[in-house]
Amino acid sequence: MKKDVEQNEQMSWWRNAKFGMFVHWGLYSIPAGMWNGERVPGAGEWIMYKEQIPVDEYEELANRFNPVEFDAKEWVSLAEDAGMKYIVITAKHHDGFCMYQSDHTEYNIVDATPFDRDPMAELADACSGSEVRLGFYYSQTLDWHHPDGAGNDWDYDAEDKNFSEYFDGYVKPQVRELLNKYDPVSLMWFDIGTPSPEQARELRDVVRKENPETIINGRIDPPWDSGICDYESMGDNEIPDEKVEGDWQTPATMNDTWGYESYDHNWKSTGDLIHKLVEIASKGGNYLLNVGPTKEGWIPQPSVRRLKEMGEWLEKYGEGVYGTEPGPFVERAFGRSTRDDDKIYLHVQAWPSDGKLEVENLDEDIENAYLLNDPKNSLDFNVKDSELVIDVPETAPDSRDTVIALEVCDSA
């Protein structure tokens, strides 16, 4: 019971947050999806693997990495404007390049590039002056730069690799380093899975020892219910069909890539992103939405615009998202539902043309209904044959998703 209480306290902020920013940024932002003048299909951050670029050749990118336009305060301010409550950024991705100053390798942004600054330290400072929490993505298994890391068999013979030595002598020390150097770290986001459950538990124990409050994501050791992690990580851009029990999160892209690609303009609309946020919240999850900054340190303008538009929507309707649980139904013809204590939130995405919103089989006693963006004016409603009918304006206040709050009678 004590463990459950501690778990609930630890996860409280995350459960309430619902919406976070994922950031994939590294040397791969320089080629931006192109190599030797050709487009490389797939996600931009996998370009080293896709093209099997030799380590010596890929390392040369560090000499050109000078993101002088990076501004940690602007990034955190954008997250705030978007209504995001936490940031998770790639401290080390699969290419092995460290986006922070590490004492365990010179292959890092401070020691190996002309930039000579630690963006993780600057982000930590910016987050400390805001309500946005900071988390780190760390690739604990794949490392195409390290001779003993997994994944690179074009430079290194797999039979010569000693993963245990890499794990014990490099991964664990770097995780300790991140947790202590940038304290507090609210979340550690591991990827791909750890080769053995024993190693996953060892890595969890490192995190728990250094910072017991740090949340650990599900990809440290799938399946998530192994007891090693704190919440389930869905597949990339995966949203489950039904409500999911327990804590879970969907990591997602705004276009088709995580790391920046110059030619990827397949942007999802703001309305689509709002719908995905609401769908995930209605099923009990969190939405971790990615941005892929450029080699200069800019977050692409299409991402900025969509995030700010989502923030404007959340400014009006965020009560129906933050801190909520799944509502009495996952999906109806008009939209979805969430709830918080004595309120049910109807997310109306298909506005009724006749001014009558019909909610079938709602087994609750309703005492008040109002538009969330206009709480002082109640909406007329009646119940007929187990169906709630609400009189609504002819035109939707927001065609993407208008939220109606229903106050439930106190059964006591």
In order of 126, 156, 310, the CA distances from 247 in angstroms are 28, 39, 23
Structural domain harbouring 222: 2-320
CATH of the domain at 157: 3.20.20.80
What's the pLDDT score for residue 411? 60
What's the pLDDT score for residue 2? 37
What digits encode the pLDDT tens for the residues 100-134? Answer: 999 999 999 999 999 999 999 999 999 999 999 99
Predicted TM-score (pTM) above 0.85:
yes
Whether 170 and 249 map to the same domain: the answer is: yes
Give the integer Cα–Cα distance in Å for 372 and 354. Answer: 20
What's the pLDDT score for residue 386? 77
What's the pLDDT score for residue 227? 82
Whether 215 and 361 map to the same domain: the answer is: no
Whether 295 and 222 map to the same domain: the answer is: yes
Whether 246 and 344 map to the same domain: the answer is: no
Triad 328, 333, 339: Cα angle to 5° = 25
What's the pLDDT score for residue 282? 98
CATH of the domain at 376: 2.60.40.1180
State which of 320, 339, 373 marks the end of a domain.
320
**190 CB contacts (<8 Å, ≥6 apart)?**
137, 138, 139, 140, 203, 216, 217, 219, 220
What digits encode the pLDDT tens for the residues 367-391? Answer: 999 999 999 999 999 988 779 999 9
Whether 225 and 335 map to the same domain: the answer is: no
Regions in the chain scoring below 70 on pLDDT:
1-6, 224-225, 411-412
What's the pLDDT score for residue 5? 55
Whether 374 and 312 map to the same domain: the answer is: no
What's the pLDDT score for residue 225? 65
Number of domains, the chain: 2
Whether 103 and 16 map to the same domain: the answer is: yes
Give the integer Cα–Cα distance in Å for 139 and 101. Answer: 16
Give the integer Cα–Cα distance in Å for 255 and 43. Answer: 10
Whether 48 and 177 map to the same domain: the answer is: yes
Whether 310 and 404 map to the same domain: the answer is: no
Whether 34 and 113 map to the same domain: the answer is: yes
C-beta of residue 286 within 8 angstroms of C-beta of residue 246: no
Which residue type, as a one-letter code, is found at position 196?
S
**177 CB contacts (<8 Å, ≥6 apart)?**
102, 103, 104
- Sign of CA pseudo-dihedral 129, 132, 138, 144: negative
C-beta of residue 123 within 8 angstroms of C-beta of residue 75: yes
Which residue type, as a one-letter code, is found at position 410?
D
Structure tokens belonging to residue 259:
């790391």
State which of 263, 293, 320 marks the end of a domain.
320
State which of 289, 304, 320 marks the end of a domain.
320
Whether 301 and 341 map to the same domain: the answer is: no
Whether 154 and 74 map to the same domain: the answer is: yes
What's the pLDDT score for residue 224? 63
